Amino acid sequence: MIFVLSSCSDDTQETPDWREELYPSYRPVWVGEGLPPVGDNFERFGPGINIKNSKGTDLLYSGHAENVLGSDFYFEYQGKRYCVGDTLDFMPESFRAKQKTVKIIPQISGAPYTLYLFMAYPHMGSVIDELTEPIDITYSFVWPSKGIRKSFRVYCEKNVDLLQDIEAATTDENGFKKAELFRYGMWENGVSTKGEQVITITVD
């Protein structure tokens, strides 16, 4: 999976009603008497890209002879290129990011290997305390040798009524409530990915 920030491109034209293309992220919340609410610390906002060939081979996995790890793809943000291993110098202050360089995330539970620019963890504490303004970033994925250039916009905003929603929610048999932590959206060349945070690029 690949994730990166970049400047706007001419082919990115979100619809005027783009807010209707935002999707809620609901998480279980535990509330103890006299204690702050506790949520799932593993919830993450990680838009990205899988790269495969026509046979479905994961081309970000170094174990495959035809992997593309040495190819010339890069991320672009505000005119600057970011390749694997580059230090990130644009991290928004409004959320908690867990990685500081462009890196490949190892395969987990059979999922494809993923190349992220960065990954945000908007879990309960960071949503309440850190996500003071929406994440709204436009970036490009560029692969010159394959003639690929894609523009992406990613957006994430916290539920400003989170604490009130938690208080009003019904507690289940395990002592948890269900609450919307944040809403997010992702657009590829101006077209909504309909709640998907990961797209797949297929190359020969």
pLDDT score, position 188:
95
pLDDT score, position 56:
92
The whole-model pTM stands at: 0.79
**Other beta carbons less than 10 A from residue 132's beta carbon:** 9
pLDDT score, position 122:
60
- Domain span at residue 100 reads 44-155+186-202
Spatial CA neighbour of 70 closest among 46, 24, 104: 104
pLDDT score, position 42:
56
If DSSP codes are grouped into helix, strand and coil, which group holds residue 144?
helix
Q: Is residue 36 part of a domain?
A: no
Average pLDDT per run of 10 along the chain, which is 204 residues long?
Answer: 41 70 86 68 74 93 92 92 84 60 70 72 61 84 96 89 88 86 92 91 92
Q: Which residues contact 12 (CB under 8 A, 6 or more apart)?
A: 138, 151, 153, 187, 189, 190
Task: Report the alpha-carbon distance of residue 160 to residue 133 in Å, rounded.
Answer: 10
pLDDT score, position 13:
52
Task: Report the alpha-carbon distance of residue 180 to residue 37 in Å, rounded.
Answer: 13
What φ, ψ does residue 93 adopt, rounded to 5°? -85, -5
Q: Is residue 92 part of a domain?
A: yes
pLDDT score, position 107:
63
Our count of domains for the chain comes to 1
Q: Is residue 65 part of a domain?
A: yes
pLDDT score, position 30:
76
Q: Is residue 61 part of a domain?
A: yes
pLDDT score, position 146:
97
Q: Is residue 164 part of a domain?
A: no
pLDDT score, position 2:
42
Q: Is residue 94 part of a domain?
A: yes
Q: Is residue 60 part of a domain?
A: yes
**Taking a C-beta distance cutoff of 8 angstroms, is the pair 121, 146 a contact?**
no
Q: Compute the half-sphere exposure of residue 35: CA atoms within 13 Å on the CB side of its CA.
A: 9
pLDDT score, position 49:
87
Q: What is the pLDDT of residues 75-128, one digit of tens each?
A: 999 999 998 888 877 766 555 555 667 777 766 666 788 777 666 656 566 666
- Angle formed at CA 89 by CA 83 and CA 91, multiple of 5 degrees: 110
Spatial CA neighbour of 44 closest among 108, 104, 120: 120
Q: Is residue 166 part of a domain?
A: no
**Taking a C-beta distance cutoff of 8 angstroms, is the pair 184, 28 a contact?**
no
